Amino acid sequence: MGKVGPSRTSSEPTIARHPDARWPVVVGGVMLTLVLGSYYAISVFVLPLEHEFGWSRLQTSWVTTIGFSTVSLWMLLAGIVLDRKGVRLVAAIGGALYSLAFLLATQIHSLSSFYLTLGLCAGIGTGFGYIAPMAAGAKWFPDKRGLIVGVMLGGSGAGSGLFAPIATRLIEQAGWRSTCRTLAIIFFVITSLATWLIKDPGLDFQPPGRKPSAKPAAPGYRTDISPGQMLRTATFWALWFAYCMGATAGLMVISQLVPFVRGAGHGSAIAAFAVTTGALGNTSGRILSGWLSDYAGRLNTLRLVLLISGAAMPALYLQRRDVTLLYALLAMVYYCYGTQLSVYASTSADFFGTKFLGLNYGLLFTAWGAAGIIGPFLAGVVYSATGEYRWAFYIASGLSLLALAMLNFARPAQSEKTIERAVNQ
């Protein structure tokens, strides 16, 4: 696994060092993740499909389980393609497949077709498209990696807030099939433009005002570690398990958000705005915590949000009927979840370098894929067994605190000798 082919960018000329050369890439990355982030709002289709076909909550929950696990698995292949062929091809594949998923969804007539379109195909597209902006941001902005990766991935958090109300209104006016068709067209136009803007820097690129000999602004491993070498480090596995448990907690809420809010006695308008509120929290976590991690450190930032998540999860369930507290606690839970998506991405680049970033982060992101299986499934099982989500939130709280404990085993400053030994093996 450690032998990954040379990056295509090694043979390309260095992109111009003018400050403006970097920002179109950020715009393209945000546009792409904005579309892909709409997948977090897939729950707006749950009730209409259950009503039309008579499916159970446990049955419809599987679509997010399939989708989230598919994202993770296909990101591994996307990482290999990215390391060899560059970010633009990966972005193009992701945008096209994600748009196609919604077009094919207009033909859903069975559970299997539901799983294949909005589960498998959308998941593959997200897996390819999601990694491109993250890698581009980490490479173009080594001087402010946490902030820029947070901004790039912030689009994913905002996507659900933008498209959930649009989809909800379209479903009410024209039905869910017509809504899928409209979204497919919108998504294809946006992702095509985003792909045109995203590109790689040259290998000898340096940000404006930074000398080639300058040290990285953020702490971490300064050697490019191959995937095989990375897998032999204790730090990787500590990060993997912490990421998995923390993301599981968040995805238990996200996968069931609209049914949870409706089950608390609120109407469709409040449920739709709950998605928007969550999206704002998700986006804020990715951007603000990304910025904070540049100064306070990646691990310290993660520790803080996991502690907050552990307290906010049970509070969200207990205060679910108070609309103001519902929105406030939802924003807090989503903030903590969004933080993990951006800060773990920057952590991967810091600790293991950017030469093999595509596959390295793809391997770390399998933790999120495992969470995508466990989180929605657990929430669905708890609801089916008890008729409520109480224990799902308590379990989510415990998982957040376990993730916090796991981060104590990730010690970059004390592990560089371990990395050096792995490199020399």
Q: At what angle do helices 46-53 and 57-85 cross, to 10 degrees?
A: 130
Long-range contacts of 391-396 (CB under 8 A, 24+ apart): 392/252, 392/256, 393/252, 393/253, 393/313, 393/314, 393/316, 393/317, 394/313, 394/314, 394/317, 395/249, 395/252, 396/248, 396/249, 396/250, 396/252, 396/253, 396/309, 396/313
Least confident piece of the model among 10-19, 162-171, 227-236, 325-334: 10-19
Lowest mean pLDDT among 46-50, 206-210, 331-335, 373-377: 206-210
Structure-model confidence comparison of residues 248 and 357, the more confident one = 248
> Is the model's pLDDT at 171 over the cut of 80?
yes
SS3 374: helix
Fold exhibited by the domain 19-200+221-424? Growth Hormone; Chain: A; (1.20.1250)
Distance set, CA 291 to CA 11, 97, 346 (Å): 32, 31, 11
- Tens of pLDDT along 246-300? 999 988 887 788 788 888 888 878 887 887 788 788 888 888 998 898 888 889 9
Range among 74-78, 248-252, 310-314 with highest mean pLDDT value: 310-314
Highest mean pLDDT among 66-70, 95-99, 283-287: 95-99
pTM: 0.75
DSSP secondary structure code for residue 4 in this structure: -
pLDDT of 389 reads 85
Tell me the CA distances in angstroms from 364 to 151, 227, 241, 360, one per residue in order: 20, 10, 9, 6
Given pLDDT bands bounded at 50, 70 and 90, which one contains residue 209? low
HSE value, Cβ hemisphere, 13 Å, CA-based, for 167:
33
Percent of the chain with pLDDT over 70: 86
CB burial of residue 219 (10 Å; 0-12, 13-18, 19+): middle
Is residue 412 predicted with pLDDT exceeding 60?
yes
State whether residue 1 is helix, strand or coil.
coil
Give the C-alpha distances (Å, rounded to integers) separating 234 from 298, 307, 407, 425.
17, 23, 11, 16
pLDDT at 421: 52
- Per-residue pLDDT averaged across 339-359, rounded? 85
Render pLDDT for 214-233 as a digit per residue (tens, 0 to 9).
444 444 444 678 888 889 99
Please determine, for residue 328, whether its predicted confidence score (pLDDT) is greater than 70: yes
Residue bearing the bigger pLDDT, 275 or 307: 307
Q: What is the pLDDT of residues 104-147, one digit of tens each?
A: 999 888 889 999 999 999 999 998 998 888 888 888 887 788 88
Residue type, 160: S
Give the separation between CA 78 and CA 296, rounded to whole angstroms: 31
CB atoms within 10 A of CB 331: 20
SS3 content of the chain, % helix, strand, coil (to 5): 80, 0, 20
Residue 333: what pLDDT? 93
pLDDT for the residue 183: 92
* Eight-class DSSP state of 41: G
Task: Indicate if the pLDDT at residue 6 is higher than 70.
Answer: no
